[in-house]
């Protein structure tokens, strides 16, 4: 369905970067025509960002554009996939051209960094919301699943978990270098595509952190049919996070806060060095924070474990 006339005028902002590998026919017909790379599998996912639910209504449009794509690319990263093509459905209360231009700029900059073409779009009148579908490629029959972790595997996390949640919590706080950096981590998550690619065939399992480290780790452990122990003292807590939130809240942000879009990776101990080397090559922090075990559930180990978790350091998922 073509949107009303005033929406037609703003379509141009979303239709200029539909060329790239495998794009036979871009935007402008009833559908795009794509040529998949021979002998490869495809990974596909879809995710929505609803204003007021998934981002503050006052968030800058360029950041919303970045984030709407980033949360989807993060899912591809967690599969070890390489981005190819995206489609975007955007609903707006009215045809706000400057907003759409900014949104598109944020979306496009991230897409171009990952050589992803935007091959389809839909603009409708409605509550502010962006739904993005992305397709990536994978070697045939191979992907980073959630279900491959085994007892004895080590648990690694990329980046600085908790910073995004702190950024959201500090949304209305007075600007400062530390506060602004945390807010930016919330608004501009960096999908760990290169790390996911490097982990494919090396890591035994992966998931990206959207709901919070513990919650997503629980999904991974449950899918893998094992348990996991986290050494609280190993949690990477960034200096800005600790400075702005204090050591205790910083840990809670890292464990329970969502929106990080970092990767949780499981791997055999012997493969840890290879993952660390790959992470270093891509300048991505990667920290060992625990170990998988037979007993189901997620356990927190360390002197503050009980205080941190009302369930006495043990959570069932």
Instruction: Using CB under 8 A, list all residues that contact a copy of itself.
Output: 1-2, 24-25, 28-36, 38, 41-48, 50, 53-54, 71, 75-76, 78-79, 81, 85, 87-89, 91, 119-122, 124-127, 129, 131, 133, 135-136, 138, 140-141, 143, 145-147, 206-208, 210-211, 215, 223, 258
- Residue with smaller CB distance to a copy of itself, 55 or 240: 55
- Residue with smaller CB distance to a copy of itself, 31 or 273: 31
Chain-centroid distance, C-alpha 300: 24
- Residue with smaller CB distance to a copy of itself, 13 or 178: 13
Helix (H, G, I), strand (E, B) or coil at 96: coil
- Residue with smaller CB distance to a copy of itself, 132 or 250: 132
- Residue with smaller CB distance to a copy of itself, 247 or 316: 316
Shortest distance, position 13 Cβ to a copy of itself, whole Å: 17
- Residue with smaller CB distance to a copy of itself, 39 or 175: 39
User: What is each CA distance from 149 to 63, 74, 84, 278, 293, in whole angstroms?
Assistant: 34, 20, 28, 20, 9
Shortest distance, position 164 Cβ to a copy of itself, whole Å: 12
Helix (H, G, I), strand (E, B) or coil at 223: helix
Shortest distance, position 295 Cβ to a copy of itself, whole Å: 23
Place of tokens 């369930």: 311
- Strand 40-50 relative to strand 129-139: parallel, antiparallel, unpaired? antiparallel
Distance CA 217, CA 228 (A): 8
Shortest distance, position 39 Cβ to a copy of itself, whole Å: 8
Structure tokens at 154: 């080590």
39-76 b/e with 16+ CB inside 10 Å = b? ebbebebebebebeebbeeebebbbbbbbbbbbbbbbb
CB neighbours (10 Å) of residue 186? 26
Shortest distance, position 176 Cβ to a copy of itself, whole Å: 28
Shortest distance, position 139 Cβ to a copy of itself, whole Å: 11
Query: Which alpha helices (DSSP H) does 50-117 contain, by range?
Result: 61-79, 97-113
């Amino acid at each position: 369905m073509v949107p009303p006339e005033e929406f037609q005028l703003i379509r141009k902002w979303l239709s200029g970067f539909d060329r790239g590998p495998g794009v036979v026919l871009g935007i402008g017909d009833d559908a795009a025509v794509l040529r998949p790379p021979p002998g490869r599998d495809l990974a596909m996912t879809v995710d929505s960002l609803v204003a007021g639910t998934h981002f503050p209504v006052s968030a800058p449009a360029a950041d919303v554009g970045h984030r709407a794509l980033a949360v989807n690319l993060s899912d591809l990263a967690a599969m070890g996939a390489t981005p190819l093509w995206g489609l975007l459905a955007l609903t707006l209360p009215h045809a706000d051209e400057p907003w759409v231009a900014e949104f598109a700029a944020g979306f496009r900059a991230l897409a171009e960094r990952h050589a992803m073409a935007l091959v389809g779009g839909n603009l409708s009148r409605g509550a502010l919301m962006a739904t993005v579908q992305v397709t990536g490629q994978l070697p045939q029959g191979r992907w980073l699943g959630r279900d491959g972790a085994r007892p004895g595997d080590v648990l690694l996390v990329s980046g600085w978990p908790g910073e995004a949640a702190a950024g959201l919590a500090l949304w209305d706080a007075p600007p400062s270098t530390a506060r602004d950096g945390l807010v930016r981590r919330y608004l501009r998550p960096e999908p760990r595509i290169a790390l996911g690619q490097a982990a494919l065939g090396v890591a035994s399992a992966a998931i990206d952190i959207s709901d919070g480290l513990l919650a997503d780790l629980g999904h991974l452990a449950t899918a893998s049919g094992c348990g996991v122990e986290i050494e609280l003292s190993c949690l990477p807590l960034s200096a800005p996070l600790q400075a702005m939130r204090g050591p205790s809240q910083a840990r809670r942000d890292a464990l329970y806060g969502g929106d990080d879009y970092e990767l949780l990776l499981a791997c055999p101990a012997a493969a840890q060095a290879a993952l660390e080397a790959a992470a270093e090559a891509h300048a991505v922090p990667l920290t060992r924070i625990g170990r998988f075990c037979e007993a189901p559930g997620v356990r927190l180990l360390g002197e503050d474990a009980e205080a941190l978790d009302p369930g006495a350091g043990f959570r069932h998922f």
